[in-house]
């Protein structure tokens, strides 16, 4: 009997051995908090900028009276080093080597900064500010207009209450936002921009509709009605100047000819190509690429799983029609305008 | 006689192998494949009019918190109407809804049902007429949506092909019992791996009946909600897919839920799911197998496997019975090293496919400690297999009954509980 019990005990111990971590976690839980749900406010493009502004307001309010105005070098109540310049950027040179600021910078008066400076901590501009060429910023919050010189680099985020101008050949990592408009120079690389208006160079406004046909375009016979849209197997080309009155889903590639108009939304399982002056009043979705020609207009969101190219003077959305352009890669030609938001996790570029 | 037992046994083994391969494909896709979430960055748009339906039958413990969470959402107020569907409640639910309707007369418009068929599907069917909003979202009364969730769930509907959208369900009462911790792990595998892999691979993510919604035009196109089903979510998923619509899953559209804290409640819940899912299997396996022109072969296969998921439990039990019977009949299936290798391979890979999936999901979520509870999942699986098998047998034995009994899931939350993270 004893050998049997011993064997049984050993077997049970052997069985329990791999369960020891589980039993320990059961007896003394170490990981029982609910999974942290992503707070969608973190998806709000100006999220970090707003948080920084709130942080700074709290810190500034707690400063002694003599540190509230004028040029000042000192520490915030939480110990962060900071410098404030009031009338000229000369104060920034105080205790700084080789143009590298390793302290928080507050710009109190309207001014233009020197070229080639590096800001390792945030910059807060209370008045209009123009950054020098070739400067590097960790992050910038501007209450009013903000201009970034050519070849500027922003590492985390930038926000302006007024118009935010970005010099050519700049690189904007993270989120860039403005309460009014972002105007991008040529060859600017960025990831995410949100503003009522985003344009490459001069804004041209929503292009007028071309002289499309008054008669609706007859879809191919094999097009099948599905609820509120039509589905077309294979590729579809809408001829120049034609008018389509419904939404479309195309199983292949969709080509919308010059000056043609789609009054609904469109989707293609491959590519969507809008020729010059074509218009889509709704959204445009493609499982691969969306290629938009010159002076075209899309009223709703533009979504692609591979790449989006917006042509010269083409527009997405409108002053009263905010929209999103989202794809892993986005390319914007000169004169392109987006009213709303551009998101390109792998990088967007202007031409 | 032996052959009559052997053939079904081999068929069952074949089915289990297919499901095993499916588990591994999904898990490997999530670990190494491209993460597909094309609509998640739609943050700015001209937002369409949305109705949020909240079916509630005796939900006085949770409904106020749910309405508060919905009212705090950042969706444009003019474009959002909240329609709590008071389904024959006998507790204080009606009074709470009247209070909210009085305080928010434009934003909260309760729909009261005094009679009719019981159950969520019937309630939704009746309430659907109450709104002509373009998008109909549905939340269960115990759910707690975050501020941005409505926009996130509406974003995919800018794609004209999308008929339904499903977000991710995250248990909030994880720390209550061993069961809640196991359900938390199960949800991790189900959403983080299964649903997202289906989305990545262009297969059929399932609309789950809550934390999601449907396009009204699509709903009308397929005939609206059916009130003769216990799983209106699975039912609508397959009707939409068969009719040419797309169902989309968004892993980052997360919402807290309350999972059952007691085994009896869990058993009732999974029995209802099994009966509803089996109804859908009976209704849609043949239309799916006929493969409408717009569906790929892989999509059809995935759809059939999804439909058959609750049939696996009874099949597995039947397989065990057959194997034992054949053993006592003296049947030696085969001998030699290949059989040993096959059995060993299945023991190490096949049996643990589901565990691998859950572990991968927990890893993707960045969870560390909870993954140690993985061996206890066998307990949950065994309970599920028995419950589902019993429900299936009862269903088969009473197939002529058209009336389906609806069993409501118990609520545990106390009034005034705070949403994890404190934002609720």
pLDDT in tens, B320-360: 899 899 888 888 766 677 777 777 777 677 678 889 999 99
Is the pLDDT reported for residue A349 higher than 90? yes
What is the model's pLDDT at position B414? 67
Share of chain A above pLDDT 70, in %: 94
Judge residue B130's burial from the number of C-beta atoms within 10 Å of its C-beta, 0-12 exposed, 13-18 middle, 19 or more buried.
Answer: middle
Element (H, E) at B232: helix B232-243
Sorting pLDDT into bands at 50, 70 and 90, what band is B116?
Answer: confident
Sorting pLDDT into bands at 50, 70 and 90, what band is B421?
Answer: low
pLDDT in tens, A200-220: 998 777 877 767 677 788 999
What is the model's pLDDT at position B83? 97
- Interface mutation target, options A22, A29, A226, A298, chain B, most CBs of B under 10 Å: A226
Closest in A31, A227, A322 to B217, CB measured: A227
Put simply, the answer to whether B294 touches A251 (Cβ < 8 Å) is yes
In A, which residues are within 8 Å of B218 by CB distance?
227
| Residue, of A64 and A345, whose pLDDT is higher | A345
What is the model's pLDDT at position B424? 34
Sorting pLDDT into bands at 50, 70 and 90, what band is B419?
Answer: low
Question: What are phi and psi for residue B195, nearest 5 degrees?
Answer: -65, -45
Put simply, the answer to whether B369 touches A300 (Cβ < 8 Å) is no
How many angstroms separate the CA atoms of A41 and B146, rounded? 9
Residues B416-423: what's their mean pLDDT?
56
Is the pLDDT reported for residue B91 higher than 60? yes
Least confident of A325-329, A330-334, B288-292, B324-328: B324-328
| Residue, of A72 and B257, whose pLDDT is higher | B257
**A248 beta partners:** A230, A266
Chain B: residue whose CA lies nearest to A305 = B38
The complex scores an ipTM of 0.90
pLDDT in tens, A230-286: 999 999 999 999 999 999 999 999 999 999 999 999 999 999 999 999 999 999 999
Residues A163-189: what's their mean pLDDT?
96
B281 closest CA partner among B259, B320, B307, B262: B307
Residues B60-72: what's their mean pLDDT?
93
Residues B387-416: what's their mean pLDDT?
75
> Residues 6 or more apart from A52 whose CB is under 8 A from it?
A122, A124, A139, A141
What is the model's pLDDT at position A37? 74
Least confident of A82-96, A163-177, B37-51, B170-184: A82-96
How many Cα atoms sit within 13 Å of B419 on the Cβ side?
26
> Residues 6 or more apart from B337 whose CB is under 8 A from it?
none
SS3 B120: helix
Query: How far lies B69's CA from each of B22, B43, B188, B236, B329, in Å?
Result: 37, 19, 23, 26, 62
Chain B: residue whose CA lies nearest to A35 = B170
Tokens 């097009």 appear where?
A: A223
Query: How far lies B57's CA from each of A292, B209, B403, in Å?
Result: 51, 16, 19
Tokens of B385: 């297999």
Residues belonging to chain A: 351
Put simply, the answer to whether A267 touches B39 (Cβ < 8 Å) is no
Sorting pLDDT into bands at 50, 70 and 90, what band is B119?
Answer: confident
Q: What's the mean per-residue pLDDT of chain B?
A: 90
Is the pLDDT reported for residue B309 higher than 90? yes
Query: How far lies B76's CA from each of A51, B45, B171, B313, in Å?
Result: 22, 11, 28, 45
Put simply, the answer to whether B188 touches A35 (Cβ < 8 Å) is yes
pLDDT in tens, A12-45: 998 888 889 999 998 999 988 888 876 545 566 6
Is the pLDDT reported for residue B422 higher than 60? no
Closest in A32, A40, A322 to B147, CB measured: A40
In B, which residues are within 8 Å of A305 by CB distance?
36, 38
Residues belonging to chain B: 424
pLDDT in tens, B203-239: 999 999 899 999 999 999 999 999 888 899 999 999 9
DSSP-H helix ranges across B290-376: 297-307, 312-328, 337-345, 353-365
Is the pLDDT reported for residue B423 higher than 50? no
- The Cβ of residue A4 has, within 10 Å, a number of other Cβ atoms equal to 8
What is the model's pLDDT at position A57? 85
Judge residue A15's burial from the number of C-beta atoms within 10 Å of its C-beta, 0-12 exposed, 13-18 middle, 19 or more buried.
Answer: exposed
């Amino acid at each position: 009997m004893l050998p049997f019990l011993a064997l049984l005990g050993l077997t049970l111990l052997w069985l329990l051995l791999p369960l020891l971590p589980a039993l320990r976690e059961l007896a003394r839980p170490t990981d029982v908090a609910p999974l942290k749900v992503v707070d969608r406010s973190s998806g709000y493009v100006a999220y970090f900028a707003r948080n920084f502004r709130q942080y700074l307001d709290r810190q500034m309010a707690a400063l002694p009276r003599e540190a509230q105005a004028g040029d000042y070098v000192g520490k915030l109540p939480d110990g962060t080093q900071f410098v404030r310049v009031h009338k000229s950027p000369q104060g920034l040179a105080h205790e700084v080597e080789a143009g590298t600021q390793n302290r928080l910078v507050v710009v109190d008066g309207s001014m233009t900064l020197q070229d080639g400076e590096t800001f390792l901590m945030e910059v807060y501009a209370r008045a209009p500010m123009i950054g020098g060429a070739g400067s590097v910023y960790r992050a910038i919050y501007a209450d009013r207009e903000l201009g970034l010189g050519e070849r500027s680099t922003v590492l985390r985020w930038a926000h302006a209450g007024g118009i935010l101008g970005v010099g050519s050949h700049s690189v904007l990592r993270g989120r860039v936002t403005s309460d009014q408009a972002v105007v991008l120079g040529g060859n600017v690389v960025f990831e995410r921009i949100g503003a009522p208006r985003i344009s490459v160079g001069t804004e041209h406004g929503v292009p007028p509709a071309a002289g499309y046909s008054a008669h609706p375009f007859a879809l191919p016979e094999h097009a099948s009605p599905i609820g509120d849209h039509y589905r077309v197997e294979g590729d579809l080309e809408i001829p120049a100047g034609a008018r389509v009155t419904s939404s479309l889903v195309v199983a292949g590639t969709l080509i919308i000819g010059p000056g043609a108009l789609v009054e609904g939304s469109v989707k293609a399982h491959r590519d969507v190509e809008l020729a010059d002056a074509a218009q889509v009043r709704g959204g445009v979705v493609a499982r691969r690429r969306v290629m938009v020609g010159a002076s075209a207009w899309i009223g709703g969101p533009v979504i692609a799983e591979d790449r989006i190219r917006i042509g010269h003077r083409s527009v997405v959305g409108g002053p009263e029609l905010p929209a999103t352009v989202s794809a892993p890669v986005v390319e914007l030609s000169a004169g392109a305008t987006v009213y709303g938001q551009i998101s390109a996790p792998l990088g967007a570029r202007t031409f | 006689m032996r052959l009559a037992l052997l053939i079904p046994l081999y068929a069952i083994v074949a089915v289990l192998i297919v499901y095993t391969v499916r588990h591994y494909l999904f898990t490997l896709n999530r670990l190494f494949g491209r993460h597909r979430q094309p609509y998640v960055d739609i943050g700015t748009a001209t937002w369409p009019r949305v109705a949020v339906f909240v079916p509630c039958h005796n939900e006085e413990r949770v409904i106020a918190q749910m309405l508060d969470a919905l009212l705090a959402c950042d969706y444009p107020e003019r474009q959002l109407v909240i329609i709590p569907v008071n389904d024959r409640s006998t507790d204080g639910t009606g009074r709470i809804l009247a209070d909210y309707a009085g305080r928010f007369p434009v934003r909260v418009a309760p729909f009261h049902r005094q009679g009719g068929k019981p159950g969520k599907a019937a309630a939704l069917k009746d309430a659907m007429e109450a709104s002509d909003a373009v998008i109909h979202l549905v939340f269960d009364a115990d759910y707690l949506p975050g501020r941005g969730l409505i926009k996130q769930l509406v974003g995919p509907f800018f794609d004209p092909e999308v008929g339904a959208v499903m977000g991710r369900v995250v248990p909030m009462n994880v720390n209550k019992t061993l069961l809640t911790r196991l359900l938390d792990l199960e949800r991790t595998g189900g959403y983080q791996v299964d649903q997202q892999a289906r989305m990545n691979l262009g297969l059929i993510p399932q609309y789950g009946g809550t934390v999601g919604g449907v396009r009204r035009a699509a709903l009308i196109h397929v005939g609206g909600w059916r009130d003769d089903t216990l799983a209106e979510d699975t039912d609508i998923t397959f009707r939409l897919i068969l009719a040419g619509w797309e169902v989309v899953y968004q892993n980052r559209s997360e919402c807290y839920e309350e999972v059952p804290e007691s085994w009896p409640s869990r058993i009732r819940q999974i029995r209802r799911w099994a009966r509803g899912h089996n109804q859908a299997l009976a209704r849609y396996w043949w239309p799916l197998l006929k493969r409408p022109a717009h569906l790929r072969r892989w999509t059809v296969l995935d759809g059939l496997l999804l439909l058959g998921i609750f049939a696996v439990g009874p099949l597995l039990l039947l397989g065990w019975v057959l194997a034992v019977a054949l053993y006592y009949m003296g049947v030696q299936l085969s001998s030699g090293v290949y059989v040993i290798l096959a059995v060993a391979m299945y023991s190490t890979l096949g049996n643990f496919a589901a565990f691998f999936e859950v572990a991968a999901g927990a890893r993707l979520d960045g969870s560390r400690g909870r993954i140690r509870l993985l061996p206890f999942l066998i307990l949950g699986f065994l309970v599920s297999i028995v419950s589902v098998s019993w429900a299936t047998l009862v269903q088969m034995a009473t197939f002529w009954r058209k009336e389906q009994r609806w069993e409501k899931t118990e609520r545990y939350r106390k009034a005034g509980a705070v949403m994890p993270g404190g934002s609720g």
